Amino acid sequence: MNELKIDAEERALRAKEFFNQGYNCAQAVALAYADITGLDESTVATITASFGGGMGRLREVCGAVSGMSFLASFISPCPTADNAEAKKANYALVQHFAEQFRQQNGNIVCRSLLGLDHPKDEPTPSPRTAEYYKKRPCAEYVYDAALIVGNYLEK
């Protein structure tokens, strides 16, 4: 992974671009770093599709945070069930990413970030119109999450 060029700002802008193309928050963050996973973009988008809208529009953990967690699995892998140290390192990275996001945005829960007062939304995604993009802060959350990952990888 060290041989890959990581420009955190460039990756964050790329993630925002993916979001503005219609990908959900988790997909947008993950796609900005698809190259570190060894997977093609279609596979990354497929794997992370369910995490948009706070996990299938349940409005739980923000999709951008889920995208960071997905990437943490490749940055600090734990491919076997019996490696407690690898699992600990992975969980520590997930917690680090989530805490960075929380410090910047006040929360990691989708419904809180969006100021929603209901527990979940219907499964039908909102149409991506100009009005949608105006009222949703999600592109900025995607940017922040991708920047957090990039800053970590640059170190």
Q: What is the pLDDT of residues 38-72, one digit of tens each?
A: 999 999 999 999 999 999 999 999 999 999 999 99
Nearest to 16 by CA among 111, 154, 141, 152: 141
Query: Which whole-number Å values give the CA distances from 71 to 29, 76, 97, 130, in the listed order?
Result: 9, 9, 10, 29
124 is a domain residue: yes
Mean per-residue pLDDT for 127-140?
Answer: 92
Confidence of residue 108 (pLDDT cuts 50, 70, 90): very high
Does 2 reside within a domain?
Answer: no
In the predicted structure, residue 1 carries a pLDDT above the cut 70: no
Domain count along the chain: 1
Domain annotation covers residue 47: yes
Residue 1 in any domain: the answer is: no
pLDDT at 2: 46
What value does the mean pLDDT take over residues 22-50? Answer: 98
Q: What is the pTM of this model?
A: 0.95
Range of the domain at 121: 8-154
Name the least confident of 43-47, 105-109, 120-124: 120-124
